[in-house]
Amino acid sequence: MGKEIKLALVYRDMWQSSGKYVPRVDQLLKVANPIIDIGCFARVETNGGGFEQINLLFGENPNIAVRKWTQPFNDAGIQTQMLERGLNGIRMSPVPADVRQLMFKVKKLQGTDISRSFDGLNNPQNLELSFKYAREGGMIAQAALSLTYSPLHNVNYYIELAEQYIALGAEEICIKDMAGIGRPASVGKIVAGIKSAHPDIVIQYHGHSTPGFSVASSLEAARNGADIIDVGMEPLSWGTGHADLLTIHEMLKDDGFSLPDINMKAYMEVRSLSQEFIDDFLGMYINKQNRFMNSLLIGPGLPGGMMGSLMADLEKNLKSINKWLTKNDKPLLTQEELLIKLFDEVKEIWPQMGYPPLVTPFSQYVKNAALMNISQMIKGKDRWSMLDENTWGMLMGKSGQLLGPIDPKLQKLASEQGREYFTGKPQDLYPNELDLYRSKMKEKGWDFGQDDEELLEYAMHPPQYEAFKSGKAKENFLKDFEERKAKAASASTGGSAAGSMPNKVEVEVNGEKYLVHIKYPDGQKDKKDYASDDIVQSKTSQNIAGSYIDSPLEGKFFLTKDSSEKGLKVGDIVEKGQTVAYIEAMKVINAITADKSGEVTDIYFSPGDEVEEDDHLIGLS
């Protein structure tokens, strides 16, 4: 009998590495018992990461989902695990300490056993509270080493990092190979180095399959002492996901490891149900490119977990870039050409940005900066001419110390913009907020929920929770889904998508120019006649171009980025260079500054509205 080794199914990550959404709670309950019946899983990743936020986005209560989804595994004695982002909790931006502490307490009470905590910069300072709060809440505190491959991120660096995490209270170690670019021999050496110093500590290997190393890396990790290997399964294994259960199981068994047999009947049922969920609605949000492995990613090292959003972002940016190229009589780009440009730009700017590990959220920051640079340079502007606030925060030390120095050009740009480097403890920048959200919920008459779980969701995801409570999230999701269905149906019949009617037009009446916003009855765009009160007019000066602050990119419009800010209103005076609004795009916040001074006459969008590049956001007199 060989050494016993365990397997963990990363069911949540399987979906999020492929597309935008995860199954609904009714679907998760349908697949839970078949997963248990497969009979070879010691652990299942049930939640964490973007799970809660995604539930809110399609109008479901994430607390109900977590409780119901984890229960069958709890009953069967299979450990459940979640992914959390340290300082960022289970969102993309920093979280106050009291909200982080409540998160661990709530998630344990909801049925989650293990917290896999990682920091995007591998900053021990940011994870100390995660380990402390996880243990206090009754969870197992697992620390993740976010693997990346650079001159600074070598085997000794990761062995020493594990030492620091263990000293701070980590009870287990995860080798988090989120891009799958960890070279197999190096992965084995990291595991061996940790085990030699801590023979009893549990080590779990998590590798994405994107560039093709993960099968060999799984074997090297196992041979050098790893206790648990994460796997995916069809129809979502491989591609930007994870190596398949059948492959890893057979490989380990052949190498002499002892592990439970697979119930193939149950495996096929889970496979069939997962495909059923794809056919239901989830496939509408899975880019076909994410189902393929891609060795080109060895160079830029972008992680599988963000490829779902990357392809969606790429599609939007391609549309914007080609719109500009068309206006300027230049050749259009294909998606593949833009993808290669992106990979090349990431390789170019990653060292300039101080080699942040390419893991959430910093992989998004580097990718977003690269895409924005490409767009700006195509339009004749300089590299770094537009950089979002989240990325500046990282560069200025607000998430902790970068391993490498930032490029002198970025340092000069930061100085010109009056930005100062932060050397303190990142958590200190984000004061406690639970009392604030308690008072807000009392004002709205909202219940705090069992074990304060609704309070947690509101404090963790304020705009998404408000949209969920109002019903707007469900409405937006259903609208988007119907549009995608119509587009897919049109493409399958060779037609063109219907409903491409304008939301606004500019008209001139007796020498006066107006921006006319059109509101279609019942959300439809196929009606021919409209009542006069369905059209809202905003009078502007005759010089339209000089009277607006326009959006430099598409995304969601907001007047503030957090609860501490006061939003702009009609009648306010703005000065040139002043931040007047924000656009949330590609999971980051972009500050919109006034390019002229004046009095605010109109604000054309409500918080949370989708805007397109060049849309008029604010009118000035």
* Domain range summary for the chain, segments of one domain joined by +: 6-286, 299-429, 502-539, 545-621
Query: Residue 513: pLDDT band by 50, 70, 90 thresholds?
Result: low
> Which range has the top average pLDDT, 238-252, 278-292, 293-307?
238-252
Measure the CA–CA gap between 15 and 239, rounded to whole angstroms: 12
Instruction: Quote the CA–CA distance of 409 and 415 in Å, as a whole number.
Output: 10
- Residue 173's DSSP bridge partners are 143, 203
Is pLDDT larger for residue 312 or for residue 571? 571
Listed in sequence order, the residues at least 6 apart from 561 whose beta carbon sits closer than 8 Å to its beta carbon are 389, 582, 589, 591
pLDDT at 464: 93
Contact 203, 192 (CB under 8 A): no
Of 6-10, 143-147, 495-499, where does mean pLDDT reach its minimum? 495-499
Question: What is the pLDDT averaged over residues 492-520?
Answer: 54
> Which pLDDT score, from 0 to 100, does residue 537 have?
37
Q: Which CATH class is domain 6-286?
A: alpha beta
Per-residue pLDDT band for 336 (boundaries 50, 70, 90) equals confident
Q: Which of 88, 136, 618 is nearest to 361 (CA)?
A: 88
Q: For residue 585, is pLDDT > 90?
A: no
Q: What is the pLDDT of residue 304?
A: 58
For 197-206, write each residue's pLDDT tens digit.
999 999 999 9
Question: For the chain, what percentages of helix, strand and coil (3-state, to nearest 5) are there?
Answer: 45, 15, 35
Q: Does pLDDT of 531 surpass 60?
A: no
Q: Which value, in Å, is the radius of gyration of the alpha carbons in the chain?
A: 25
CA-nearest of 278, 306, 389 to 22 is: 278
Q: How far apart are CA 320 and CA 18, in angstroms?
A: 24
Which strand (E) or helix (H) includes residue 13?
Answer: helix 11-16
Q: What local confidence, expressed as pLDDT, does residue 293 receive?
A: 83
Mean pLDDT of the chain: 88
* Cα gap 620→16, rounded to integer Å: 42
CA–CA distance, 492 with 222 (Å, rounded to integer): 46
**Contact of 434 with 455, CB cutoff 8 Å:** yes
* Confidence class for position 595, pLDDT limits 50, 70, 90: confident
Strands 504-509 and 228-231, bridge-based pairing: unpaired
**138-152, 427-441, 503-517: the lowest-pLDDT one:** 503-517
Topology of domain 545-621 in CATH is OB fold (Dihydrolipoamide Acetyltransferase, E2P) (2.40.50)
Q: And the tokens for 244?
A: 């398949």
pLDDT at 499 over 60: no
CA angle (175 as vertex; 3, 366 as ends), nearest 5: 160
- 315: pLDDT strictly greater than 50: yes
Lowest mean pLDDT segment, chosen from 284-288, 453-457, 512-516? 512-516
Give alpha helix (H) positions in 356-509: 362-378, 389-395, 408-416, 434-444, 453-460, 462-470, 472-492
Indicate whether 81 pLDDT > 60: yes
Question: Are 130 and 117 spatial neighbours (Cβ–Cβ below 8 Å)?
Answer: yes
Query: Any idea which of 222-226, 248-252, 376-380, 496-500 has the lowest mean pLDDT?
Result: 496-500
pLDDT tens digits, one per residue of 378-414:
988 889 988 888 899 999 999 998 999 999 999 999 9
Identify the residue with better confidence: 389 or 42: 42
Confidence at residue 142, expressed as pLDDT on a 0 to 100 scale: 98
Mean of the pLDDT values across residues 303-322?
71
**Above pLDDT 70, what percent of the chain?**
89
In sequence order, the 6+-apart residues with CB closer than 8 A to the CB of 356 are 120, 121, 350, 362, 365, 366, 394, 402, 403
Mean pLDDT of 352-365: 87
Evaluate if residue 507 carries a pLDDT over 70. Answer: no
CB 66 within 8 A of CB 34: no
**pLDDT at residue 535, rounded to an integer:** 34
pLDDT above 90: residue 98 = yes
Q: Flag whether pLDDT at 604 surpasses 60.
A: yes
Q: Is the pLDDT at 527 greater than 50, yes or no?
A: no
Calpha distance 294→420 (Å, rounded): 39
Residue 510 has pLDDT above 60, yes or no: no
pLDDT(366) > 80: yes
| For residues 145-149, average pLDDT | 91
